[in-house]
Amino acid sequence: MHSTNAQVNVIVVDRGRKSLYLRYTDPVTEKRVEKSAKTSSRRQAQKLAGQWQQEIEAGISKPNTKLTWDEFRQAYEDLHASGLAKETRDKIQSVLNSFERSVKARRLASITGEHVAQWQRSMRTAGCSEHTIASYSAHLKAAFNWTQTIYTGLNLPPVSKPQRAFTGDAMKGRPITTEEFERMIGQIKEPYMREVQHAGWKHLLIGLWWSGLRLEESTNLYWDRLDRISIDLSSGRPLLRIPAAMEKGNKDRLYPVATEFAEMILAVPESERTGPFFTVRTKTGKPYSRSRHAIGKIISELGRRAGIITNVNAQGKELTASAHDLRRSFGERWSRRVEAQWLQKMMRHSSIQTTLRYYTSRNADEAAAHIDAAFQRAVQDSSTDPQMKPRGDTSGDTTSKAAVLNSWAV
């Protein structure tokens, strides 16, 4: 095992192959340890050599068969995840916690493909969606791939994306109607909530309804904190400024807000534009400072009290309206108003494929109405454009839809 204080010198070696190699001599065993730099650029290889040397001196390099799960976690979280957005770091911790509970592997080298399959099966049994299982599997795969670039010779099992089972709707819940939302608001009353709480919780629910914010985004929305999500009024119309530390792409970004939420923001007097935008209170009147998960449970309880069932999970348990169902409702409304590329920005999706998957072509009746309208326009155009006339239609009479359809019949 290498000592944490061991002095090593990683050098770049040209072995006459396509890629250069990185090599150092183990100060304990006096054996050479090397791996491919996977590049022919000496400059890039020198950079990789310096990184590897830092990792060795940090004490994470040791005989691979003796590397424990705890040591792997600490190395991955400290050396890799520490530079990622907080939301991503939290997700990585959740994934590793989940795998750890299911597999209980003491040493990393003892993990097999069967363990991975067992873990995926345990998530499905617990009622996790196929989307969640695929997302968790992708994170575990990234962790194993990173580890094998650091600990040479370590052979970890591949983590494949599980075959997606049929789940009907892609959403876990569903958009709720305006009438259902009003019923949720109506549950903010005695005895569940005291009068001192009413205004703040109503403000939060209405804000989620008009903004489409994720619950965590709403708890991090401030007027004047640039280290959190902040409201930017420099252009006159409100925008959301999300700092790099809270963005998956690690870039400061500005996002548009829906018109109703912009009006909600501008309605706040200038003298009150400080601190958090949303403030919910406890029964004693103090600001509620607990996590988004605790706030989310209260919103779901309002949905339960309102009798709004949004889905049934694999165990047959009825799911009630949640904070995320308010976001789904926002996306559903605006999918009928704007094109997909603009809805993507409003929803702050990293990929337009997510927008297309969840919020387009969901309403068959509405699609049918668009088709009929397009058909009527084409029929009207055919009366003046010879190229648009149906076969056999020489009269120019387009008053009867049935006549037009018959004229196209074989």
Pair 56, 153 in one domain: no
DSSP 338: S
β 229-232/221-222 pair status: parallel
Pair 25, 123 in one domain: no
**Contact (CB, 8 A) for 40 and 63:** no
CA dist 154 and 109 (Å) reads 7
The yes-or-no verdict on residue 188 having pLDDT over 90 is yes
Would you call 266 helix, strand, or coil by DSSP? Answer: helix
CA dist 197 and 203 (Å) reads 10
| 398 CB neighbour count, 10 Å cutoff | 20
pTM over 0.85, yes/no: no
Across the beta sheet with 21-25, what order do the strands follow? Answer: 11-13, 21-25, 32-36
CA dist 153 and 104 (Å) reads 23
Pair 90, 228 in one domain: no
Q: Of 234-238, 241-245, 264-268, which has the strongest mean pLDDT?
A: 264-268
Nearest alpha carbon to residue 362 among 392, 393, 331: 331
Would you call 364 helix, strand, or coil by DSSP? Answer: helix
- Residue 368 domain-assigned (yes or no): no
Pair 70, 49 in one domain: no
Can you give the pLDDT at residue 388?
Answer: 43
E strands present in 30-177: 32-36
* Exposure b/e, 312-331, CB count within 10 A at least 16 = b: eeeeeeebbbbbbbbbbbbb
Tokens of 364: 């068959």
Pair 125, 25 in one domain: no
pLDDT tens readout for residues 306-342: 999 998 876 778 889 999 999 999 999 999 888 888 9
Domain hosting residue 386, numbered range: 375-407
- Residue 276 domain-assigned (yes or no): yes
Pair 48, 83 in one domain: no
pLDDT tens readout for residues 66-89: 678 988 898 898 888 887 877 788
Pair 189, 274 in one domain: yes
- Residue 118 domain-assigned (yes or no): yes
Pair 236, 198 in one domain: yes
Pair 329, 355 in one domain: yes
More confident: 359 or 346 = 346
**What type of residue is 14?**
D
Angle, alpha carbons 165-167-168 (nearest 5°): 135
**Contact (CB, 8 A) for 48 and 19:** no
Pair 54, 98 in one domain: no
**Residues near 72 by Cβ (< 8 Å), separated by ≥ 6?**
108, 147
The yes-or-no verdict on residue 290 having pLDDT over 90 is no
The yes-or-no verdict on residue 65 having pLDDT over 50 is yes
CATH number of the structural domain spanning residue 100: 1.10.150.130
Can you give the pLDDT at residue 241?
Answer: 93
Domain boundary among 161, 191, 209: 161
The H or E element spanning position 229 is strand 229-232
Computed over every residue of the chain, the mean pLDDT equals: 82
Region label for 57, one of left (φ > 0), alpha (ψ between -120 and 50) or beta (otherwise): alpha
Pair 301, 192 in one domain: yes
Can you give the pLDDT at residue 85?
Answer: 76
Region label for 301, one of left (φ > 0), alpha (ψ between -120 and 50) or beta (otherwise): alpha
Angle, alpha carbons 352-93-122 (nearest 5°): 85
pLDDT tens readout for residues 355-391: 887 776 555 556 566 667 777 777 777 665 554 444 4
**Residues near 36 by Cβ (< 8 Å), separated by ≥ 6?**
19, 20, 21, 22
Domain boundary among 61, 81, 112: 61
**Contact (CB, 8 A) for 365 and 382:** no
pLDDT tens readout for residues 117-153: 999 999 988 878 788 899 999 999 999 998 888 776 6
Region label for 222, one of left (φ > 0), alpha (ψ between -120 and 50) or beta (otherwise): beta
Nearest alpha carbon to residue 23 among 40, 58, 48: 48
- Residue 370 domain-assigned (yes or no): no
Pair 234, 338 in one domain: yes
Domains in the chain: how many in total? 4
More confident: 124 or 59 = 124
More confident: 388 or 52 = 52
**Residues near 172 by Cβ (< 8 Å), separated by ≥ 6?**
129, 311, 319, 324
| 88 CB neighbour count, 10 Å cutoff | 16
E strands present in 29-165: 32-36
pLDDT tens readout for residues 200-222: 999 999 999 999 999 999 999 99
End-to-end CA distance of the chain: 82
CATH number of the structural domain spanning residue 345: 1.10.443.10
- Residue 364 domain-assigned (yes or no): no
Burial class (CB in 10 A: 0-12, 13-18, 19+), 10: buried
Domain boundary among 129, 161, 193: 161
- Residue 34 domain-assigned (yes or no): yes
Long-range CB contacts for residues 117-122, cutoff 8 Å, separation at least 24: 120/162
